[in-house]
Amino acid sequence: MADDVQHKDGASASHRGVDGGQERPPGRIEEADFVTRNEEEDLKRGLSQRHISLQVSHGVSSSLKATNAAQNRYSRRNRLFLGLGGSIATAGPLGSLLGYAVIGLIVCCVQFALGEVTALLPVTSSFVRHAEFLIDPAAGFAVGYNLVYGNFLSIPTEISAICVLFQYWTDLNSSVWIIAIIVLTFAVGMSSIRVYGEVEFGFALLKIVFIIFLILLGLVIDLGGVPGTPRIGFRYWKSPGPFVEYIAIGSWGRFLGFWSVMSSAVFSFAGVESIAMAAAETKNPRRAIPRACKRVFARVSIFYVLAVLVVGMLVSSDDERLNDESGTAAQSPFVIAASAAGLKGIPSLVNAIVITSAWSSANQALLSGTRVLYGLALKKQAPSIFLRTTSWGVPYVCVILQTAFMFLAFMTLSSSALTVFWWLVDLVACGVLISWITILTNHWRLLAAMRVQDVPVSLLPWHSKWTEWSTPAALVMCIIILFTSGFSVFTTGNWSASTFVSSYLDIALVTTAYLLWKFIKRTKIVSLADIPLMEAFERAAQDQEPEKVVPGWRKWVGFLWD
């Protein structure tokens, strides 16, 4: 796969289209989604290669469960440490493994598509602005506000999860933890982008080490490496079996179990698409972001597929403890296996790591939400006040607005307000799939425009041949999953208003926003022949920076991210 990747240090291009030599309409380049003067002058390039590369791993593994006594709900990044057991109980060890493997492949397709487009257009708010450039300005508006709303509500859900996790150790009033996390998140959000990068870099390293530790621990327990513990092997794959029937019986029931896990696994990977949100604040983004995207395949294999395999070996799919609704480390399949082996201290360790994961997810949501809002303001789709930045390059008005939304976390302290809060969250529950569909559509439109304008793919700053077929395949899969994610509500006796809303209402909201902006601004779908590709290639050629050679021990340590 790596052999197919091409890096271009320069490419000759002009403002004339290669499909006939016609001059582009004057002023079109200024209307296009290239890096603006605001981004160049007001933002700071403080994120380096190592920050971006580990953010991919961090996004993939930012998984925790937001659960409470009144509502048993999953946050969007909630499955690796605590929630994998639920997948095993629903689909069985093999069904879960296949489900996560398929979604892992889709994630790789999404990341490669994002990397190729971002290498050409490294702008703030990433695929939101790409959609305006490659599809329709109304598409950028609709997807952008969907992301803003989703990220603004994401932080209160993470704070709610942290409160539940702390209850594992103490009965201290949750208000204390809410205020503490709001202050800490606001402090990181108002700091320079480099501070954010260093904080997330530290969390990512900690999480990677911990995941590897849990996988190795699981293998040791499974193989009988703990004194007094018998070897388990693949015992649970034989009895109760590799698959679990879900809703129906027989082969159809086993397939529905697999499909249910695949649909929910999408939200385990929420956040991987945010890697390019701060492209204009990244050093040499045309190299750094694609390089980070390229490494997602191996990390998905390690962090999820291998973890699901080990969990399926450790715990039986009919173990009642997998349905524990405490929301703390007690429900983790790793903790269940470690407790059975007589290993103490593992529950507290898992709980502590999940707390850091929750706070890290809040930081990522703050960065993504504020940069998308800033990008919308750049395109005059949001008030210009959101363009105001500090002297160190932080869009502080955007940060202040999102911080105000963090106080919605206090709604989780009231049983009546809690219901309203979760309905607000459910409105954009399928936003992850909509974002992935947008990324894949952007890339598909880019390649289609290049064919129409007779532009060779060799001009792309970064390209992999497999994306020419992987993007349409992943796009079809994402659309199918989007429309079938709530299939259970249409089966006899399983109707759930909240599940229906979380599965489908966001589709209507995004469609309404798209049509509304299209009607007000009378926008049109951009013709493939009119997309100013050559101007983009010219800028890409001008922006190339020489790659720095890292000497000594840092080169060997840097294999994790370089």
**HEC readout, 356-375:** HHHHHHHHHHHHHHHHHHHH
How many separate domains does the chain show?
1
Q: Residue 29: inside a domain, yes or no?
A: no
Select from 464, 484, 479, 561 the least CA-distant residue to 108: 464
Tens-level pLDDT at each residue, the chain (562 residues):
444 444 444 333 333 333 333 333 333 334 445 777 787 888 888 777 777 777 665 554 443 333 333 233 433 344 455 667 788 889 999 999 999 999 999 999 999 999 999 999 998 889 999 999 999 999 999 999 999 999 998 899 888 888 888 888 888 888 999 999 999 999 999 999 999 989 988 888 888 888 888 889 889 989 988 888 889 999 999 989 999 999 999 999 999 999 998 887 887 787 788 888 887 888 888 888 888 887 777 777 777 788 889 989 988 888 887 776 655 666 678 788 888 778 888 888 888 888 888 888 899 899 999 999 999 999 999 999 999 999 999 999 999 999 999 999 998 888 777 777 777 777 777 889 999 999 999 999 999 999 999 999 989 998 988 999 999 999 999 999 999 988 989 988 889 888 888 889 999 999 999 999 999 999 999 999 999 998 888 888 776 666 665 565 555 555 555 5
Angle at 355 between CA 354 and CA 359, to 5 degrees: 115
State the pLDDT at residue 161.
Answer: 83
Q: Is 204 exposed, middle or buried (0-12, 13-18, 19+ CB in 10 A)?
A: buried
Residue 508 maps to which CATH number? 1.20.1740.10
Q: Residue 131: inside a domain, yes or no?
A: yes
- The number of CA neighbours under 13 Å toward the Cβ of 251 is 0
Q: Residue 539: inside a domain, yes or no?
A: yes
Q: Residue 172: inside a domain, yes or no?
A: yes
Q: What's the rounded Cα separation, in Å, for the pair 477 and 494?
A: 25
Cβ distance 109 to 470 under 8 Å?
yes
State the pLDDT at residue 540.
Answer: 81
Q: Residue 28: inside a domain, yes or no?
A: no
Between the CA of residue 369 and those of 60, 76, 151, 275, what are the distances in Å?
18, 15, 5, 12
pTM listed for this prediction: 0.88
Strand, coil or helix: what is 343?
coil
- The number of CA neighbours under 13 Å toward the Cβ of 552 is 2
**340: containing domain:** 37-446+461-547
Q: Which residues of 390-426 are buried (b: 16+ CB within 10 A; e: fewer)?
A: eeebbbbbbbebbbebbebbbbbeeeeebeebbeebb
Q: Residue 506: inside a domain, yes or no?
A: yes
Q: Residue 561: inside a domain, yes or no?
A: no
User: Position 409: which residue type?
Assistant: A
State the pLDDT at residue 39.
Answer: 79
Q: Residue 202: inside a domain, yes or no?
A: yes
